[in-house]
């Protein structure tokens, strides 16, 4: 006995329709989430390519690409839906040529660099992600690893003087006193020696006029001759001979960038310090200064807990 042609029941028809709708909705969601993320800088390099590939791995649903500045039109000629990430100062100078253009994240720029280019106002189309560690975080690092310290010595010049107000405000609740000394001529060691005589520790600001390969030897030898530790200003200085610093590495920057790119560009903050960070210390320096070895992971966790506490 032969069977007649099979017929789909109304239930099967409704199920197929529902599955199609779910699939279409999922596809629309994926497409809506996909974004054009354009990284740019003056030069392509292995470091830039590594960073770009790492961001691609974090955001496989997006179109993440790097294009050198030389291959881009004026900022206002780029599509408005592009999310622009600037990797260096030349790319910032390029972006500042035009007010109109896509929302822009400026990655790893110091407060001094921003001040030199922008003054005191951050344009609405820019979001600045600071490269220098927060001063309050650096001061809490001092309080944690050197609890006996009270007077924190700070060298400054005309470019970094504006940071002193925020530094003093951050020091107040920690019971620390900021002792500041102007150092306009780094070939003259008298301001440095005078500051070391009045302070318990030296805190380095991210000021390349004062902290650079030409001054590092004098700074380190002078401070340790007085048995004064230098905190900061960067991980590179810790490797050269300062005691310790907080810093954010590539993984930390990728995490904050990934988080911001998940948000509407209209909600991006004008300025931001990366919430993720690490602590680096120099074991040889701790020994030479008679300081207990610093457990970098434990100290970083303590500092982070303090920042997240209401």
d(CA 272, CA 294): 28
Give CA–CA dist 177/38, Å, rounded. Answer: 44
For helices 135-145 and 296-308, the axis angle rounded to 10 degrees is 130
pLDDT of residue 32: 45
- Res 16: pLDDT: 57
| pLDDT digits (tens), the chain, 310 positions | 444 444 555 555 555 555 545 444 444 344 445 799 999 999 999 999 999 999 999 999 999 999 999 999 999 999 989 999 999 999 999 999 999 999 999 999 999 999 999 998 899 999 999 999 999 999 999 999 999 999 999 999 999 999 999 999 999 999 999 999 999 999 999 999 999 999 999 999 999 999 999 999 999 999 999 999 999 999 999 999 999 999 999 999 999 999 999 999 999 999 999 999 999 999 999 999 999 999 999 999 999 998 875 4
Confirm or reject CATH 3.40.50 for domain 36-131+251-272, answering yes or no. Answer: yes
Beta carbons within 10 angstroms of residue 127's beta carbon: 21
CATH class of the region 135-243+282-308? alpha beta
CA distance 272 to 121: 14
Q: Residue 246's pLDDT is what?
A: 98
For CATH 3.40.50.2300, the residue range(s) in the chain are 135-243+282-308
Q: What is the pLDDT of residues 84-126, one digit of tens each?
A: 999 999 999 999 999 999 999 999 999 999 999 999 889 999 9
């Amino acid at each position: 006995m032969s069977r007649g042609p099979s017929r789909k029941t109304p239930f099967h028809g409704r199920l197929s329709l529902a599955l199609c709708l779910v699939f279409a909705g999922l596809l629309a969601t994926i497409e809506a989430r996909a974004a054009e993320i354009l990284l740019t800088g003056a030069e392509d390099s292995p470091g830039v390519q590594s960073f770009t590939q790492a961001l691609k791995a974090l955001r496989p649903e997006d179109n993440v690409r790097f294009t050198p500045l030389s291959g881009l039109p004026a900022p206002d000629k780029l599509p408005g839906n592009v999310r622009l990430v600037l990797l260096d100062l030349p790319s910032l100078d390029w972006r500042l040529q035009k007010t109109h253009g896509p929302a822009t994240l400026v990655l790893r720029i110091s407060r001094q660099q921003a001040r030199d280019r922008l003054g005191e106002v951050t344009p609405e189309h820019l979001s600045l992600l600071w490269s220098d560690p927060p001063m309050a975080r650096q001061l809490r690092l001092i309080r944690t690893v050197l609890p006996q310290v009270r007077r924190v010595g700070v060298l400054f010049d005309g470019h970094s003087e504006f940071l002193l107000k925020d530094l003093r405000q951050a020091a107040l609740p920690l019971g620390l006193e900021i002792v500041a000394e102007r150092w306009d001529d780094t070939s003259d060691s008298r301001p440095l020696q005078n500051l070391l005589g009045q302070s318990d520790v030296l805190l380095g600001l991210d000021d390349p006029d004062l902290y650079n390969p030409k001054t590092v030897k004098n700074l380190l030898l002078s401070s340790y001759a007085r048995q004064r530790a230098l905190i900061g200003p960067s991980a590179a200085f810790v490797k050269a001979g300062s005691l310790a610093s907080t810093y954010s590495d590539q993984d930390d920057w990728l995490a904050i960038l990934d988080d911001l790119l998940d948000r509407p560009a209209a909600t991006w903050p004008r300025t931001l310090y990366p919430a993720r960070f690490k602590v680096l210390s120099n074991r040889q320096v701790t020994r030479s200064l008679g300081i207990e070895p610093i457990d970098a992971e434990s100290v970083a966790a303590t500092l982070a807990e303090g920042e997240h506490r209401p």
